Amino acid sequence: MNPAQLERLSEHLVKLRLFKSRERLEALLQHAAEKELAYSDFLEQVLGEEVAAKTSKNVTMRTSMARFPFVKPLETFDFSYQPSIDKKQVQQLASCHFIEHGDNVVVLGPPGVGKTHLSVGLGLKAIEAGYRVFFSTAANLISALTKAHGEGRLDERLKFYTTPRLLIIDEIGYLPIDRLGANLFFQLISRRYERGPMILTSNQSFGAWGEVFGDRVIATAILDRLLHHAVTLNIRGNSYRLKEKLKAGLVRAEETNDS
Ligand code: ADP
Ligand code: MG
């Protein structure tokens, strides 16, 4: 191919923002000539590489927008350490049907059993499937809502949390929630109710949510909406952090009565 034509092709690809194809053009042309590829095979290869590059860039971008505390895929979760988790059920959730159905997922269990890891892993699956995801701790979310309420921007903030297709709210119950916070949280849950699915994690059983929210009536109203279409994963097991400490010899086995 003559250099002028190569130059023109290159300009077209830039105009079309097909950067991967531009980068690979010469190599792909050479390969096609050597292998005497059919036109259709050549075109498939060029477009296939471009789509793969764009998809991967998009996944990276949405992963950083999700604000996960760490990025650990579900594949790194050791199910054998946590037999109370039904691996099949988690795999089912990983197929993201729950998002299509608008179902919520609630992960309950003591500290260190992998609640955040599982929710991040499922969040990453959702991103791979093309959804927008946002992760927040309950404390950060409530403090942002409270601040926005004080500044007369509550509606804007509620929209911010209703826009992502999947909202993950981690660590409900670690910090006490005041009356206003509970009320604003209820407003968010009502907005997302039957519109956008959520994953929530808590170290407190549902029965204790009255104390978490400082108000039994509000807690019941929140749970009523949350659990209408929901899957609950109840993890009963030892902290994984403890397992790592044990391995490192930082604690002795008889001290492992982790609560
Ligand atoms: P929780 O949110 O329940 O307190 P995390 O999800 O933060 O627990 O888990 C604590 C740490 O242990 C994280 O680094 C997490 O990746 C890891 N972890 C927990 N459970 C497992 C597991 N079953 N397999 C692999 N890593 C795990
Ligand atoms: Mg956690």
Range(s) of the domain holding residue 43? 3-62
CB-side neighbour CA atoms (13 Å) of 22: 13
| Angle formed at CA 168 by CA 243 and CA 121, multiple of 5 degrees | 45
> Has residue 201 been placed in a domain?
yes
pLDDT band at 258 (very low <50, low <70, confident <90, very high): very low
Q: For 182-193, how does the pLDDT look when each residue is reduced to its tens digit (9 = 90+)?
A: 999 999 999 998
Ligand 1 site, residue 146, Cβ cutoff 6 A = no
Ligand 1 site, residue 72, Cβ cutoff 6 A = yes
Q: Do residues 83 and 178 both lie within one domain?
A: yes
Name residue, tokens 């902290």: 239
pLDDT band at 47 (very low <50, low <70, confident <90, very high): very high
> Has residue 221 been placed in a domain?
yes
User: CATH number of the domain that 217 lies in?
Assistant: 3.40.50.300
Q: Do residues 27 and 138 both lie within one domain?
A: no
pLDDT at 238 exceeding the cut of 90: no
User: With helix as H, strand as E and coil as C, how does 141-191 read?
Assistant: HHHHHHHHHHCCCHHHHHHHHHCCCEEEEEEECCCCCCHHHHHHHHHHHHH
**How far apart are alpha carbons 48 and 61 in whole angstroms?**
20
Average pLDDT, the chain: 93
pLDDT at 197 exceeding the cut of 80: yes
Q: Which of 107, 240, 242, 243 to mutate to test the pocket of ligand 1 (most atoms within 8 A of CB)?
A: 240
> Has residue 256 been placed in a domain?
no
The protein residue whose alpha carbon is closest to atom 10 in ligand 1 is 112
Q: Do residues 42 and 83 both lie within one domain?
A: no
pLDDT at 247 exceeding the cut of 80: no
Count of C-beta atoms within a 10 Å radius of residue 216: 11
Instruction: Please tell me which residue, 91 or 238, carries the higher pLDDT value.
Output: 91
pLDDT band at 257 (very low <50, low <70, confident <90, very high): very low
Instruction: For residue 107, list its beta bridge partners.
Output: 201, 233
Return the pLDDT at 251: 65
Q: What are phi and psi of 132, to 5 degrees?
A: -95, 135
CB 154 within 8 Å of CB 111: no
Q: Which of 81, 85, 116, 117 to mutate to test the pocket of ligand 1 (most atoms within 8 A of CB)?
A: 117
**How far apart are alpha carbons 18 and 51 in whole angstroms?**
9
The protein residue whose alpha carbon is closest to atom 26 in ligand 1 is 77
**Residue 229 to residues 11, 64, 87, 101, 216: CA-CA distances in angstroms?**
52, 29, 20, 9, 21
Q: For 126-148, how does the pLDDT look when each residue is reduced to its tens digit (9 = 90+)?
A: 999 999 999 999 999 999 999 99
CB 113 within 8 Å of CB 119: no
Q: Please report the atom of ligand 1 found closest to the CA of residue 85.
A: 23
Q: For 64-84, how does the pLDDT look when each residue is reduced to its tens digit (9 = 90+)?
A: 999 999 999 999 999 999 999
CB 111 within 8 Å of CB 204: no
Return the pLDDT at 66: 98
**How far apart are alpha carbons 225 and 51 in whole angstroms?**
40
Predicted TM-score (pTM) of the model is 0.88
Q: Do residues 136 and 217 both lie within one domain?
A: yes
Q: Do residues 52 and 82 both lie within one domain?
A: no
Instruction: Among 62, 88, 106, give the residue marking a domain's end.
Output: 62
Q: Please report the atom of ligand 1 found closest to the CA of residue 72.
A: 16
> Has residue 68 been placed in a domain?
no
Q: How many domains does the chain have?
A: 2
**How far apart are alpha carbons 228 and 230 in whole angstroms?**
6
Residue 31: alpha-carbon gap to chain centroid? 39
Ligand 1 site, residue 78, Cβ cutoff 6 A = yes
